[in-house]
Amino acid sequence: MDEPYRGESAVATLSPNKKHCYACASILDIRAELCPRCGVRQPPMPGMVSTALVQQGPQPLAHSSRNKTTAGIFALLLGGLGIHKFYLGQTAAGIVYLVFFWTFIPALISFVEGILFLTMTDEAFAQKYPD
C-alpha cells in the first residue's frame, strides 16, 4: 500500500485486457481476482457485478458441477475401487476403498451408495457434494 496507484500514465502503457495490481502494481489480466505476486484480492471493476456482494446472501439453491447419475453409475459398477469417491473429490475415502477392495466390503457399501445417489434429488446431491 506504500506505492500509490499510478493513474492515467500507467494505464496508457497497458493493453486493454491488462490492469495493474492496486497493491504492488504488477501487470495482471483484466479478469484477475488475485494478484499472483502479492496475493492481494483486486477490487471489482467498475460496472461489474460484485461477486463478493452476491456471495454474502444465502444460497437459494445448492449447486454441484458433479452429476449424481454419473456418481451412481460409478458407485454401482466401479464402487469397489472407490472410483465414485475420486469422482466426488473424496480422494482419501477413495484410497481407503481401493486398499480394502479385496475384502469386497467397499463394493457392498458402494452398491448402497449408488442406489442412494440415483434415488436422491439433484438438490440433496448438490448439498451433500458441493463444488
How many beta carbons lie within 10 A of that of residue 41, not counting itself?
12
Decide if residue 107 touches Zn ion (CB under 5 A): no
Residues 6+ apart with CB under 8 A from 95: 82
**Residue number with CB closer to Zn ion (25 or 118):** 25
Site for Zn ion, residues 2 to 31, rule: CB under 5 A: 21, 23-24, 26
Q: How far apart are alpha carbons 55 and 11 in whole angstroms? A: 30
Site string for Zn ion, 36-75 (x = CB under 5 A): -xx-------------------------------------
Considering CB under 5 A, how many residues would be counted as binding Zn ion? 7
Decide if residue 32 touches Zn ion (CB under 5 A): no
**Residue number with CB closer to Zn ion (23 or 78):** 23
Q: Whole-number minimum distance, CB 36 to Zn ion, in Å? A: 8
Residues near Zn ion, by CB under 5 A: 21, 23-24, 26, 35, 37-38
